[in-house]
């Protein structure tokens, strides 16, 4: 005897005959007040790039890169602390 065909998911991830998911429930939740954009991720990345570039050139450039990286990290942590300071626990 042959077995009945198995419903395999299509490219959309929905098996034939299965109801489509509710689009309102399938989207991820978003924060009510998203944080404002900042420059600190860019500063941190530039500091890291300068640090690695300095490994090829000399120790002075490494020190400058580490300094820029630390300033960027301090800015990121400062933003995070300011954002979470006023939230109720």
Confidence of residue 84 (pLDDT cuts 50, 70, 90): confident
C-alpha span between 69 and 75 (Å, rounded): 10
In whole angstroms, what separates CA 27 from the centre of its chain? 17
Per-residue model confidence (pLDDT) at position 6: 54
In angstroms, rounded to a whole number, what is the distance separating the alpha carbons of residues 17 and 13? 12
- Between CA 27 and CA 43 the distance in angstroms is 32
Residues 43 and 68 sit within 8 Å (Cβ to Cβ):
yes
pTM over 0.75: no
Q: What is the pLDDT of residues 5-56, one digit of tens each?
A: 555 555 555 566 666 666 666 667 777 777 788 999 999 999 999 999 999 9
DSSP 6-40: P----TTS--TTSPPPPHHHHSPP--SSPPPP-SH
For the chain, the domains span: 37-83
């Amino acid at each position: 005897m042959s077995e009945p065909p198995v419903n395999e998911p299509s490219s959309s991830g929905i098996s034939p005959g299965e109801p489509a998911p509710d689009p309102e429930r399938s989207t991820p939740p978003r924060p009510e007040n998203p944080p404002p954009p900042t420059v600190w991720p860019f500063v941190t990345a530039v500091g890291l790039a300068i640090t690695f570039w300095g490994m090829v050139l000399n120790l002075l450039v490494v020190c400058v890169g580490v300094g820029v990286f630390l300033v960027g990290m301090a800015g990121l942590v400062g933003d995070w602390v300011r954002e979470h300071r006023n939230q109720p626990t």
